[in-house]
Amino acid sequence: MPVTRKPDERLRDVSRRMILDRTAGLLVRQGYGATSLRDIAQACDMKAGSLYYHFDGKDALVEEIMTEGVKRVEASVLDALQAASGSPPLDRVRIAMEVHLRTLHDKSDYGSAHIRCFAHVPADIRHRLRSTRAGYDAVWARLLSEAQQAGAIAPDIDLHTLKFAIIGMMNWTLEWPLQNGVGPEEMANSFFRIAFMGAGQD
């Protein structure tokens, strides 16, 4: 088991985290259906049967990763919003967009594994993940609502649709990468410009 650990780390915890990490990477690269337990085990220098010591089965492993994916994005965005609590409303929106994109693209595979595989996991998992996702959704709803109440968003804009448009364009960057070399900050700035100032010219 070629995994490095510190003296106070239990093997179980280190192995378990490594399995989660490597599986997340496989899910991003191959998708749910094309990632077998044997693939996962190989990526971990283990055998498939051993994975059952740590997880109840493939789907439990996958669900844990996907749940953690949403949680990580949510935590990152909340942290950033907390740190920017005194900033103007639309600045906070732009920051949230940037952090969302950074978490998806740069931080780890968990968030992107979630988005990539959501539509393909068994229905019961998807159902449970929907409510986890709804929590993060509420973060955006609150953020946009505050911005609209502060007068920063036009009153005729339906916030549900706006949230949807923003999240849609951001998450779509995982399916069809925007452009090589473009980072989260630049993406966020471009999308923010389009969504809030509009691409149109009078």
Partner DNA sequence: AAGAAATTATAACAAGTGTTAGGTAAAAGG
Partner DNA sequence: CCTTTTACCTAACACTTGTTATAATTTCTT
**Interface residues toward DNA, by CB under 7 A:** 1, 10-12, 15, 35-39, 41, 45-50, 52-54, 57-59
Tokens found for residue 59: 């789907």
What DSSP character marks residue 197?
Answer: I
Closest listed residue to residue 171, CA positions, set 119, 105, 127: 105
- When the beta carbons of 15 and 137 are compared against a second copy, the nearer one is 137
Residue 195 CB coordination number (10 Å): 16
Residue 119 CB, nearest approach to DNA (Å): 17
Single-letter amino acid, residue 113: A
Position 105 contacts a second copy (CB under 8 A): no
Q: Give dist(CA 43, CA 47) in Å, integer.
A: 10
Position 199 contacts a second copy (CB under 8 A): yes
- When the beta carbons of 38 and 142 are compared against DNA, the nearer one is 38
Tokens found for residue 194: 């389009």
Q: Which of 120, 128, 139, 185 binds a second copy (CB under 8 A)?
A: 120
Q: Give dist(CA 6, CA 23) in Å, integer.
A: 22
Distance between start and end Cα atoms, the chain: 63
Position 60 contacts a second copy (CB under 8 A): no
- Report 16-35 residues binding a second copy (CB under 8 A): 31-34
- When the beta carbons of 18 and 187 are compared against a second copy, the nearer one is 187
Contact 129, 122 (CB under 8 A): no
What DSSP character marks residue 55?
Answer: S
79 binds, among DNA, a second copy, none (CB under 5 to 8 A by kind): none
Q: What does the binding site for a second copy look like in residue numbers (CB under 8 A)? A: 31-34, 90, 116, 118-120, 122, 151-155, 157-158, 160-162, 164-165, 167-173, 175-176, 178-179, 187, 190-191, 193-201
